[in-house]
Chains A and B, each alone.
Chain A
Amino acid sequence: MGYRPEELLITTIARLLDGVGHVAVGVSSPIPGSAALLQRHLSGGKTQVTVLNSKNLQTLNDGAGELFDRAAQGRIGAFFLSGGQIDGQANINLVGIGDYPRHTVRWSGSFGSAMLYYLVPRVILFREEHTRRTMVEKVDFISAPGTSAEGVYRPGGPYALITSLGLFAFDKTRARFRLNSIHPGHSLEEILDNTGFEFDRDEVIPETAAPSAEWLGLLRGKIAGEVADPYPKFAHAVFGVSA
């Protein structure tokens, strides 16, 4: 059964959310959001989903701090972060390129990363662009570090990194990524060419599992309708549904 690249990313991320009690997703993250909604269905509703600032999946009503209070209490099991740069130690940079503060390229800022990355047990790094521009040896600015010194309170941290080319797991003790699988149609050579950091890997690396017909059916049917609430443009472009 044919599928779109977005559908592969959604089903791959959904597997990473297995067993999570509460997933929070940003409003501009349609692929992670769709994965969270798929996982909610697969879990029989055990996985709760909050999509920030959505109409029907918004479970917050106590202001801009409530999400962070929840994270600090351990009420959020998984969250998604990204980075203009991500390095081999899973440090993320959301601020800019060059020397701070007068960066040559300046992005928006660190948002909630410098707290959520420490406190949410499964932080999934998601960045579709997989190039030496984004996957760097060392970030120019650490918005939030991948690991912390012993003794620093850190129940959370990076769990996986998913890009348009492959899926990496993060080994906290080694502070290194391990390439878990390569997406269909891509190769190890392509990943090596486009990655600025070293990573661990086995001799034989499996292909990322294609979405099953059953999951694709779910995604294009029931889930697509739910996705259209917070992500109407995405739902229309990928699944052809209207809100």
Chain B
Amino acid sequence: MGARRKPVTGGPFRATPLSPCGAIACGASIFETMMGRKMPDFDLDALAAMVPDGAKVAIPVSRSGPAVALTRALILRGVKDLHLVAIPTAGIQADMLIGAGCVAVVESAGITLDEFGQAPRFVAAVKAGKIRLMDTTCPALVSGLQAAEKGVPFFPMRGLIGSDLLANRPDYKVIDNPMSDAADPIVLLPAIVPDVAMFHAPLADRHGNVWIGKARELMTMAHAAKRCLVTVEQIIDGDLMGDPLRAPAVIPALYVSAIAVAEGGAAPLALNGYYEADSVALAQYAAMAADEPGFAAWLAGDTRAAAE
């Protein structure tokens, strides 16, 4: 992991266990952030240590900067029983975690390697009954996070009625629209409060502010989650919040728990405007991960390459 840096500031910000109480009503203390702290230096292993076994972890769609390097560190740490929440779909990142046996629950609108085909470890785990599925539709995942960021228990959404998605989601409720005089059934989605949101972004500053560009769902994820772990290409001097051109796409440090530098941290996926997807590496993954020994060989080679 060549992206590690030497510590530049003292006083490591220690990861504390998440509150056993999952509700926002517990108070702001469950939200760990960097605001007002001088940003300490973390590496990927330190961030990986902040993801407890069994955590509900929100990850972004493949085009919006999944933290793939951090995912590798999580696998090496041997994290267990994660509840992945894809916002709103996921790809190689989820497939790696599933293949490595780190995942108990997959809540998503789709797991796919896109033009490289089906996500092979996901499909195998489904067929073997190794993961619990919470299948849904894209906007339901975004709206669940929006309920969490607003601090309300649910969000109403059109659609879903009459689908087998709804039939298999006892946590979704249908009510009669109380604002209408006529009968009008509508689905309520419970708030999704991730224990951890994790993603890769282009830039952070030394105050802990993170610039995300157009990937706005990362903002929603950060707002909704109790803990937000970010890897970045680069940490810059200055204040991203003080730059009027960048500030609208900056996640304020208030929402950010820890940052580590990981150059190429989304690879082999693309980082919008920074690097393209590595289609050779993705095709190789799709081919090797087709069966369990192939996946194990891929994982061994991938982690070895990353360590060099």
B6: interface (CB < 8 Å): no
Complex contacts, A113 vs chain B, CB 8 Å? 137
A95 to B140, CA, bound (A): 16
The answer to whether A108 and B216 touch (CB under 8 A), given A144-B163, A148-B162, is no
Interface segment among B22-30, B121-129, B256-264: the answer is B121-129
Q: Contacts A112-B137, A153-B186 given; 14 further ones with Cβ under 8 A?
A: A61-B214, A64-B87, A64-B142, A96-B126, A101-B133, A108-B110, A109-B111, A111-B89, A112-B139, A141-B164, A142-B163, A143-B164, A148-B162, A153-B158
Contact of B110 among A65, A110, A151, A152 (CB under 8 A): A110
From known contacts A104-B127, A111-B89, A143-B163, infer whether A64 and B217 are also in contact, taking CB-CB under 8 Å: yes
Which of B158, B159, B168, B217 is in CB contact (< 8 Å) with A65? B217
A152-B135 CB under 8 A given contacts A104-B127, A112-B109, A142-B162 = no
CB within 8 Å of A: which B60-75 residues: 61, 63-64
B219 at the interface (CB under 8 A from A): yes
- For this complex, 19 residue pairs linking A to B, each with C-beta atoms less than 8 Å apart, are A28-B114, A63-B215, A64-B64, A68-B142, A95-B135, A95-B164, A100-B135, A101-B168, A102-B127, A108-B110, A109-B109, A109-B110, A110-B165, A112-B138, A115-B160, A117-B159, A118-B161, A149-B162, A151-B182
- B88 CB-CB contact with A under 8 Å: yes
Are B137 and A145 touching (Cβ within 8 A)? no
Q: Is the CB of B185 within 8 A of A118?
A: no
Task: Indicate if B119 sits at the interface (CB-CB under 8 A).
Answer: yes
List residues of chain A with CB within 8 A of the CB of B166.
114
Nearest chain B residue, comparing its CB with the CB of A155: B158
Q: Which of B168-209 contact A (CB under 8 A)?
A: 168, 182-186
Residues of B within 8 A of A106 (CB): 118, 122-123, 126-127
| B158 partner, pick from A62, A94, A101, A118, beta carbons under 8 A | A118
Chain B residues whose C-beta falls within 8 Å of the C-beta of A108 in the assembled complex: 89, 110-112, 118-119
Contact A100 B158 (CB under 8 A): no
A115 touches B158 (CB 8 A): yes
Q: Which of B93-147 contact A (CB under 8 A)?
A: 108-112, 114-115, 118-119, 122-123, 126-127, 129, 132-133, 135-143, 146
Q: Does B303 contact A (CB under 8 A)?
A: no
A111 → chain B closest CB, angstroms: 5
> Which of B137, B157, B217 sits near A63, CB closer than 8 Å?
B217
Asked if B89 and A118 sit within 8 Å, CB to CB, the answer is: no
When A and B form their complex, what is the total count of cross-chain residue pairs whose Cβ atoms lie within 8 Å?
143
Q: Write the nearest CB–CB distance from A39 to chain B, whole angstroms.
A: 25
A53 to B165, CA, bound (A): 26
Q: Which residues of A lie under 8 Å from residue B234 when comparing CB positions? A: none
Chain A's nearest CB lies how many Å from the CB of B135? 6
In the A-B complex, list the 9 residue pairs whose CB atoms are closest, starting with the nearest.
Answer: A63-B216, A109-B110, A115-B159, A68-B139, A114-B137, A65-B142, A108-B112, A63-B217, A145-B162
**In which size bucket is the chain A interface?**
35 or more
Say yes or no: A151 contacts B215, CB within 8 Å. Answer: no
Nearest neighbor of A233 in chain B, beta-carbon distance:
B115
Q: Does A3 contact B (CB under 8 A)?
A: no
Contact partners of A72 in chain B: CB under 8 A = 139, 158
A152 touching B162, Cβ below 8 Å: yes
B163 touches A145 (CB 8 A): yes
C-alpha spacing A157/B125, complex, angstroms: 33
Q: Which residue of A lies closest to B61 (CB)?
A: A64
Question: Which of A108, A142, A143, A144 counts the most chain B CB atoms within 10 A?
Answer: A108
Residues on A with C-beta less than 8 A from B63 are 53
Spell out B's residues near A (CB within 8 Å): 61, 63-64, 87-89, 108-112, 114-115, 118-119, 122-123, 126-127, 129, 132-133, 135-143, 146, 157-166, 168, 182-186, 214-217, 219-220
Residues on A lying within 8 angstroms of B by beta carbon are: 28, 53, 61-66, 68-69, 72, 94-96, 100-104, 106-119, 141-145, 148-149, 151-153
Contact A114 B163 (CB under 8 A): yes
In the assembled complex, the CB of B106 is this many whole angstroms from the nearest CB of chain A, namely: 9
Q: How far is the CA of A25 from the CA of B158 in the complex (A)?
A: 21
When chains A and B are docked, how far (Å) is the Cα of A172 from the Cα of B164?
A: 20
What residues of A have a CB within 8 angstroms of the CB of B108 in the complex?
109
CA distance A153 to B138 in the complex (A): 19
Smallest CB–CB gap between B274 and chain A, Å? Answer: 15
Instruction: Report which residue of A66, A110, A144 has the largest number of chain B beta carbons within 10 angstroms of its beta carbon.
Output: A110
Chain A residue numbers with a CB within 8 Å of B184 are 151, 153
In the assembled complex, which residues on chain A have CB atoms less than 8 Å from the CB atom of B216? 61-64, 66
Residue of A nearest to B130 (CB): A102
* Bound form: Cα–Cα A149–B111 in Å: 30
User: Given the complex of chains A and B, what is the CA–CA distance between A203 and B140 in angstroms?
Assistant: 45
**Cβ of A95: which chain B residues have Cβ within 8 Å of it?**
135, 164
| CA gap between A111 and B112 in the complex, in Å | 10
